[in-house]
Chains A and B, each alone.
Chain A
Amino acid sequence: MQIIRSPKVYDVCIVGSGAGGGTVAKVLTEAGADVVMVESGPMWNEATDSAMLEWNYESPTRGWSSEKPFGAFDGCIGGWDIGGEPYTVGTGAWRWFRARMLGGRTHHWGRISLRFGPDDFRRKSIDGLGEDWPITYDDIRPYYDKVDQFVGVFGTNHASETGLHNEPDGIFLPPPKPRAHELLIKKACDGLHIPVVPSRLSILTRPLNGRAACHYCGQCGRGCATHSNFSSVSVMLPPALASGKLTIIPNAMAREVTTGADGLATGVSYVNKADRTEHQVRARIVVLAASCCESARLLLNSKSTRFPDGLANSSGVVGHYLTDSTGLSVSGIIPALMETPRYNADGVGGMHLYVPWWGDNKALGFPRGYHIELGGGFGMPGYGFGGGIQNYPYSRGGGYGADLKAEYRRYYGASVSFSGRGEQVAREDCYCEIDPNVVDEWGIPVLRFHHTWSDHERLQAKHMQETFRSIIDAMGGTPTSTMPGPEADYGLAAGGVIIHEAGAVRMGSDPKTSVLNAHSQAHDVKNVFVADGGPFASQADKNITWTIMALAWRASEYMTDERRKGNL
């Protein structure tokens, strides 16, 4: 057995093909770089592999899946638990969702595409907690613009109207009209002074850059066979492949970043999962985009006498300041929605309206905020339909027969749901490290997680619970659950469950307290970059992916400049 070394030295090796890796591949190849992409999963393309328009009754389990957490038709390979790839938990709790496929998690993600606002880059200056970013909104704004224009996102510029100055304007396609139940939610929220505005999703309501407009089947999460929404494979990889400059190595599980005598990265070593052979690919620049925690793992596992604590880790910060969004959901049954005349309410694959953060923290007992994702309508009946009907508010409490059958019909489309997604304040003691005792089936040491919530997040969760219940009440409905108390963190989901991991390879201006500089470049090793959620100095009350892509685009232009100047 021997290590198979690629003879070629590429300009850039990217690990991972998701939101971050795809963006870097597009920008760098179009700038002329010779790029190799090491991806741990198989090739996957929504045009051939998507289950778009399949019915639940075409599945023997009616859409349930033992392998796919979000159902048999979900466009995902991977999930919370991956055979042969364990992780462990030390303090607290953590769940780690991983995709293993070309395009990463961008096939089955929710496509809620929110820019961070000006305040989100300087939270410490505002409330003294956490850390400011080494960049401002103005630094990243041009890249948000590029992502908007190239990928396509619908929404509206509402800041001047709503006064929500931390919800930046974007370059939007027209939003779809709200669904009926969304208008009803908005009516209730108007009375409570909670702003409800068109959502911002990366789904095409108009043709864009050769991609067809949405056909409103509501199944974005299965992967769109007409490429009408964003995935890395539909949008970022085609131009990179067309340039002739991108080589993709699928089923290649990166083990570590290799380094030379000069302390610079020389490439990446990986296992070919198909035949378990060991390989090394060489490159002048290494970009880690394997997802936040996996990129931290790769750095920590890249140990040498020169870098005994892992690569780019002289600060000891790699793995630390790991955050996820806070999250919890409340559903309610709304009598006013019962027996609503049916219509095709599929729309786009996601909400048409949402609630951006509107609160004033000075008047609240907690820092930071959350946005609200709205659910409801006439979804495609599938696995779990009408489950637990005996406990529904207004129900007869169980039974059977023709009356029960009629009851299910009455409840169809009569429920609404509210999901809060908020900001965790980053802390040093939320972190991942290498477990000294456990390896995965490829022999790669695995991560051990430590993650807990603080009162900042708990009180935010309490506010979510009270708010969602007040909206349901204002709609004349009843929640389907009772409110959990402080002993249950007010229903706050465990860390990782909201799948917005960020911060484990954070950027900052001080090399003693951060891993990367403002260009996502390692302070210690100038030819190593990170292009996923790792670089985030803080979360926001917004989902992270649009910022992952804008940062990745920005880092790629910097790499291009530095290459031109001969610095890389």
Chain B
Amino acid sequence: MTDIKRRQMLQMLGAVPAVAAFTWTREEAVAAAEQAGEARRQAAASNQPYTPRFFTAHEMATITALADLILPKDDRSVSASETGTTEFIDYLISEQTDRQTAIRGGLAWLDAECLGRFNKAFVDCSDAERRAVADDIAWPKRARPEMSQGVRFFNTMRDLVATGFWSSREGVADLGYMGNRMTVWNGAPENVLQKLGVSYD
């Protein structure tokens, strides 16, 4: 697109419709939206490394280790910490002040449990040691009663990591979400209808 055309598009996208009489072609609308999105992304892009807002460096490392235990790399996608999950959790909890104590305390509970069992913090544990603790708190129905606080904390972390990973660019691609774009709707494709045993007639 030429620069003039591009500027026109951006202007159109920002146009106050003083009269509801301007008409877009689909191509113009799509192009304008893409341009605006790109401009937004460029404005937002920053090369600065993330500075934690709430958690300490040790807590950040613990969250990272937990994130990758919960959603590791597999043959379809990268691990959770590679998708900004740790940073997301820090940012979120810096805003959700009513959850700060529970999560900071949960991280401390985890370290205390590891210290008691292995005489080291969670991040310093081997993979097998981390799993040994996780196995005791990751299965609410099976967990021993004295593990209840750990179970609660792990449920929280599982949910936070799930948001962090699946809502990331990589998570979205892994799930196969195909929307958030301007398109034409002609109904669900035939293979989907067949799988569900439904049809349009």
Query: Which A residues form the contact surface with B (CB < 8 A)?
Result: 45, 47-48, 52-58, 60-64, 66, 176-181, 183-184, 186-187, 207, 209-219, 225-227, 234-235, 238-239, 241-242, 336-337, 340-348, 378-390, 397-402, 404-406, 408-409, 412
Contacts and interface: CB of A to CB of B under 8 A. Distances in A.
B18 A58 contact: no
A329 to B, nearest CB: 20
B134 A383 contact: no
A378 B178 contact: yes
B29 A378 contact: no
A380 B180 contact: yes
A378 B21 contact: no
Contacts of B26: 212-213, 215
A45 B16 contact: yes
A210 B22 CA distance: 6
A384 B163 contact: yes
B60 to A, nearest CB: 15
A397 B142 CA distance: 9
B180 A346 contact: yes
B123 interface: no
Contact of A390 (B72, B95, B140): B140
A248 B36 CA distance: 28
B14 interface: yes
Contact of A381 (B18, B69, B96, B172): B172
A344 B179 contact: yes
A225 B20 contact: no
Contact of A57 (B18, B70, B84): B84
Interface in B8-28: 13-24, 26
A161 B142 CA distance: 53
Contact of A64 (B21, B72, B92, B186): B92
A55 to B, nearest CB: 6
A62 B164 contact: yes
A386 B171 CA distance: 12
A62 B150 CA distance: 26
Contact of A382 (B167, B182, B195, B196): B167
Contacts of A207: 23
Contacts of B163: 62, 382-387
Dominant secondary structure of chain A at its interface with chain B: loop
How many residues of B sit at the interface, in one of the four size bands? 35 or more
Given A210-B22, A389-B159, 17 more contacts: A47-B16, A57-B172, A58-B44, A60-B87, A187-B197, A216-B184, A217-B181, A226-B29, A337-B196, A341-B189, A380-B180, A385-B167, A386-B166, A390-B140, A397-B139, A398-B138, A404-B158
A343 B192 CA distance: 8
23 contacts: A53-B182, A55-B169, A58-B40, A60-B88, A61-B91, A66-B96, A177-B187, A178-B187, A183-B199, A187-B197, A211-B23, A215-B184, A225-B33, A344-B181, A347-B185, A378-B175, A386-B163, A390-B139, A398-B138, A398-B158, A405-B71, A405-B72, A405-B77
A241 B37 CA distance: 29
A182 B79 CA distance: 34
A383 B167 contact: yes
A56 B162 contact: no
Given A48-B14, A386-B166, A381 B175 contact: yes
Contacts of A235: 20
Given A57-B168, A239-B19, A215 B195 contact: no
A341 B191 contact: yes
A343 to B, nearest CB: 5
Given A62-B163, A179-B188, A212-B29, A399 B182 contact: no
Given A184-B196, A227-B20, A215 B172 contact: no
A529 to B, nearest CB: 25
B88 to A, nearest CB: 6
Contact of B19 (A214, A242, A384, A397): A242
A180 B67 CA distance: 34
